[in-house]
Amino acid sequence: MIPAPFSYFAPDTLEEALSLLGEYGESAKILAGGQSLLPLMAFRLVRPEVLVDLGGIEALSRYELAGGRLTIGSMVTHRTIELDHRITSRCDMLREALDVLGHVAIRNVGTVGGSLAHADPAGEWLAVALALDGRIMVTGPRGNRDVAADGFATGWMTSCLSPDEIVTGVRLDMPGPGTGSAFEEVARRHGDFAVVGVAARVSVEGEAVTGARIALAGAASTPIRAHRAEALLTGTTLSGPDLDAACEAAASETDPVADLHGSVEYKRRLARVLTRRAVSRAYRRASAPA
């Protein structure tokens, strides 16, 4: 299993990378960590003529936690974030999502930007970005733009990126005081793609939910937000019937694609069950004294 031949470029700067993309157009593909791309190339399901490796662009390997906002350069590896206690201690959802994102050997190489740009429907990063009001930073020949995570993925493994654009990073709102978060997923084995995963962020004042974000991975052709469920939770104290209604809503907002590991019905059920678990845990965390 050897990829079809291609030409390889390792630019040192974003400008160079953009000019290569401009030159080669749709025949070029960006290589980030390669943990999703290289297996597809080995199967020859993807066969770019040109590969532009962003690994040499130092500016993309930085990240910063400042003022409740986490900004991650696209070439930062999953593992780098996972091992930064300042981040994982502030965001349970991120810690829990990273723990089930592949295996360490993948997280050592795979990158945040690569994962986002791949737009896998079961991708943990995009679900987390949806739940943390993420903005995906993009650069291209027409300049820089910020894209809301909600809307970034436009279909099965496709995004709103044009072929000459590059994801440079993502900005996430870290849960603040009075906000709890959680990530729940069912995968067939530890480290496998989620059958369904749920990222939940819940803000609480007193006992009442003042805001909620629920994002689901593996529940549609892209990661999705469960907007109706979020609205149903807001203002409640997470009583049984309120939570039931929200979980039902979340399940009904999904549009799962059946595969070997789950039928449409099973994935809907997981969406309901895991929404309950993630939301409940996030709520408990929000309510717990800091």
Partner 1 sequence: MTRDLHSIVLNVNGDEVTVRVEARQTLAGMLRDQLGLTGTNLGCEHGVCGACTVLLGGRTARSCTLLAVQANGRSVTTVEGLAADGDPLHPVQQAFADHHALQCGFCTPGFLLTTIEYLDEEPEADPDSIRERLSANLCRCTGYHNIVAAVKDLLERRTGR
Partner 2 sequence: MKQVGEALPRREDGRLLRGRARYMADLAFDDSLDAIVVRSPFARARILSIDASAALAADGVVAVLTADDLVGVEPALTRQFYSLTPAFIERHQVFLGPYREPVLARDRVSRMGEPVAFLIATDRRAAEDAAELVEVDYEPLDPIVDPLRAIAPGSDLVVSDVPGNIQASFHIIVGDPTSAVEAAERKVSGRFRIGRSVGSPIETRGAVGIPATGSEPLTVWSSTQIPHILRAYLAEFLRCPEEDLRVAAPDMGGSFGGGIYAEELLVAFAARLLGQPVRWLEDRRENLANARHSRDQIIDALLAYDTSGSFRALEMHIVQDCGSANLFGLTLPFNIASHARGQFAIDHFDVTGLCVLTNKTRNTPVRGAGRPEATFVLDRLVDMAATDLGIDPADLRHRNLIPAREMPRDMGMLYRDGAPMVYDSGDFPDQLRTALEAFDYWGKRRRQDEAAGSNLALGIGVSSHVEATGLGPHETARVEIDDSGTVVLTCGSNPHGQSHATTLAQVAGETLGIRYDRIETRFGDTGLLERGGGTFGSRSAVTAGAVVHGASVELRRRILDLASEMLECDPADLIIRDGYVSPRGVPGISVSFAELATGGAPLRAEDEFVPPTVTLGSGTHIASVAVDRETGVVNLTGYVVVDDCGTVLNPMVVDGQQHGGVAHGIGNALLEEAVYDEGGQLLSGTFIDYLLPTAADVPDIEIIHRPHPTPLNTLGVKGAGEGSTASAPGAIANAVVDALRPLRIEINELPITPQRLVELIRAAEAEQVEGLAGN
Is 1 a binder of partner 2 (CB under 8 A)? yes
Comparison of 122 and 282: residue with beta carbon closer to partner 2:
122
Q: How many CA atoms lie within 13 A of 80 on its CB side?
A: 16
List, in order, residues 6 or more apart from 243 with CB less than 8 Å away. 233, 236, 276, 279, 280
Name the E strands within 63-133.
Answer: 63-66, 69-73
16 binds, among partner 1, partner 2, none (CB under 5 to 8 A by kind): none
Q: Which two tokens stand for residue 110?
A: 């795979």
**Interacting span for partner 1 (CB under 8 A) from 104-112, 227-235, 242-250, 277-285:** 104-112
Q: Which residue's structure tokens are 């409940």?
A: 280
Comparison of 77 and 280: residue with beta carbon closer to partner 1:
77
User: Least separation, in Å, of the C-beta of 54 and partner 1?
Assistant: 11
Is 7 a binder of partner 1 (CB under 8 A)? yes
Instruction: With H, G, I as helix, E, B as strand and everything else as coil, classify residue 99.
Output: helix
Question: How far apart are alpha carbons 49 and 85 in whole angstroms?
Answer: 40
Residues 20-79 that bind partner 1 (CB under 8 A): 31, 34-35, 38-39, 41-43, 49, 51, 53, 55, 79
Q: Are the CB atoms for 285 and 178 separated by under 8 Å?
A: no
User: Least separation, in Å, of the C-beta of 106 and partner 1?
Assistant: 7
Q: Are the CB atoms for 182 and 170 separated by under 8 Å?
A: no
Q: At what angle do helices 240-253 and 264-287 cross, to 10 degrees?
A: 140
Question: How far apart are alpha carbons 244 and 252 in whole angstroms?
Answer: 12
Residues 186-215 that bind partner 2 (CB under 8 A): 186, 188-193, 195
User: Least separation, in Å, of the C-beta of 155 and partner 1?
Assistant: 24
Residues 18-77 that bind partner 2 (CB under 8 A): 43-44
Question: How far apart are alpha carbons 228 and 147 in whole angstroms?
Answer: 22
User: Least separation, in Å, of the C-beta of 20 and partner 1?
Assistant: 14
Residues that bind partner 2 (CB under 8 A): 1-2, 4-5, 43-44, 186, 188-193, 195, 260-263, 266, 269-270, 273-274
Residues that bind partner 1 (CB under 8 A): 1-8, 10, 31, 34-35, 38-39, 41-43, 49, 51, 53, 55, 79, 103-106, 108-109, 189-191
